[in-house]
Structure 1
């Protein structure tokens, strides 16, 4: 963002970030709107924004604590959008000296419709923020990062669960692995899933610099929310997370729900991330409350993990030869009896929807 002529939306929850962006964009004409997670809310971005919009559910405040500290120093007009019933939003607004007219509080039951109903209040708040904005601002200094401990073993230590105080999701998770031809195949599968489907964890072999843009493209084209996975990210229905292109990716489960765990950057079976790693973690952590799918791709990555999932009671599927761009990964999965079902690409989303309805909740 160059100059102070854009609106920066910061939210840790992907759905809230998406819906707030969709609500604000029609209200501000040609002004640029940039939406980022809390990890990308850099001091430079905050100071360079015309207006900063912070959005949070009741459970999001711990993850946004660092952003709140940075916004105190950025000198930009602030709006705070809160979704939920807690009083923490009012506390944060007071700490950040946000005027009452620039605190937008809505229930969390139906965020999209509630924000639509509040659009006139949001528009007025944005207009007032533009009147009140200072002429310039200094970029705040980011807190000095804590030293990073290097993990030396090939299997990282058990990650701590996310600090999430809401009702945990402990249901079924869909795990999908793909390689060559997988970008189009994933578009076909994910676009066929209902917006309230179980969470989806994905490993797609792809250079790390392209994964985030791929996730954004899927997010724009599908009913479900699609995002690049980050460490200790809670899973929920209607959300698909794609493993970054340079870290091993696992699933963990505890009494606070099911979450992602990013680990070492060593190649396992020639891949980082490896489908086998994700699927083996799903087998061990989730067992029969998981579904494994191997799509088109070269090599054999995923066959061992899919077989382990099947041995733990999961339903498993491999894409058929006729619809695969490269019949490598699904072929090995079929030959090693890791897949209990083989289907053409166009029927996979329907199969997923069907089997997840019959699995234990």
Structure 2
């Protein structure tokens, strides 16, 4: 049985569970905030909670169906936090009779920043849930003064841009593909790279309208420069480019350097842009002077492209199962022998730095 006054955060995704709990805590007014997985959401646990906060990404809804039914039966004040662009969140809210003010929907970008941006809405929903408590609820904990919220740390000042020598860049390029969970994974990887690292080309599955803001947030959080890619953009050390959300994205190489090429808008393998398309172009244009990485994500996009890169002599890696939010894309890459190494997320940046030093200049 939950402690009296407990706010219970339930989510399948461990990262989402952690971040939602962190953002609820400042508004808990002395109540205990506990986060649990869907397997621990028993009827007794739910019915004993003062407030239930359900959190789900688009990929999580199927795995939470039984929990939704238990929450509905428990009849506790409930908040719903959804990250993504599908309509399933609205359908779940309607089924659980969760009003619009108690359904907090955010894009699946940097979920920490997205939740901070709606902190006032989250605070209002928590306070309303307390007022709406059914009469048979456990006695509330006497409210205490809410802890002062620490000011958000300002982003460190970005170093001066890498000097443009005027000489075309013809060195190594790092290619990274990701999908579900990739926004946070990419931040971890890029934050660990040196300011003078080789250029990076990124395909992240994401609705096109959110890609510019995502690139901007990465730029503000990392030592390297991060930009939304445009057609014909020259690559240089210390620069990462993120493929737009509605064009196939390729790399091209010539005497004048290495540059980006935006192509058709048709989906390939179900995706536009597709990781496979970017990585196959890297295999063809760059050969062994490339590094390929597949991060967390659903499906198999990137496995064929990463295999082509490896067969062309490139070094390749896939994120391991334990640190992947969704072990789909990395799993296929591993099973098809496209990755020559498998690494936890926290070690990928150092691996990239190490292998790029060994590649031909």
TM-score by length of 2: 0.55
2:68 corresponding residue in structure 1: none
SS of the counterpart of 1:348? Answer: helix
How far, CA to CA, are the matches of 1:214 and 1:188 in structure 2? 14
Aligned residues: 201
1:331 corresponding residue in structure 2: 331
2:257 corresponding residue in structure 1: 257
Q: 5 Å matches for 1:170-185?
A: 170-185=170-185
Contiguous gaps of at least 5 residues in structure 2: 1-158
SS of the counterpart of 2:332? Answer: helix
How far, CA to CA, are the matches of 1:340 and 1:112 in structure 2? 35
Q: 5 Å matches for 1:85-234?
A: 112=160, 166-234=166-234
Structure 1 residues 200 and 345, CA gap change in structure 2 (3 angstroms) = same
How far, CA to CA, are the matches of 2:160 and 2:347 in structure 1? 30
Moved over 4 A (4+): none
How far, CA to CA, are the matches of 1:357 and 1:211 in structure 2? 30
How far, CA to CA, are the matches of 2:167 and 2:291 in structure 1? 22
How far, CA to CA, are the matches of 2:331 and 2:287 in structure 1? 23
Shift, 1:167, TM fit:
1.0
SS of the counterpart of 1:297? Answer: coil
Shift, 1:330, TM fit:
0.2
1:278 corresponding residue in structure 2: 278
How far, CA to CA, are the matches of 1:203 and 1:258 in structure 2? 17
2:62 corresponding residue in structure 1: none
RMSD (Å) for aligned C-alpha atoms: 1.5
Shift, 1:166, TM fit:
2.7
Contiguous gaps of at least 5 residues in structure 1: 1-110, 114-163
SS of the counterpart of 1:350? Answer: helix
How far, CA to CA, are the matches of 1:165 and 1:324 in structure 2? 39
How far, CA to CA, are the matches of 2:224 and 2:203 in structure 1? 17
Give the structure with higher Rg (CA).
Answer: 2
1:122-144 CA distances to partner (integer Å, 9 max, x unpaired)? Answer: xxxxxxxxxxxxxxxxxxxxxxx
How far, CA to CA, are the matches of 1:112 and 1:186 in structure 2? 22
How far, CA to CA, are the matches of 1:236 and 1:203 in structure 2? 18
TM-score by length of 1: 0.55
1:41-89 CA distances to partner (integer Å, 9 max, x unpaired)? Answer: xxxxxxxxxxxxxxxxxxxxxxxxxxxxxxxxxxxxxxxxxxxxxxxxx
Q: 5 Å matches for 1:62-73?
A: none
Structure 1 residues 207 and 313, CA gap change in structure 2 (3 angstroms) = same
Structure 1 residues 112 and 342, CA gap change in structure 2 (3 angstroms) = closer
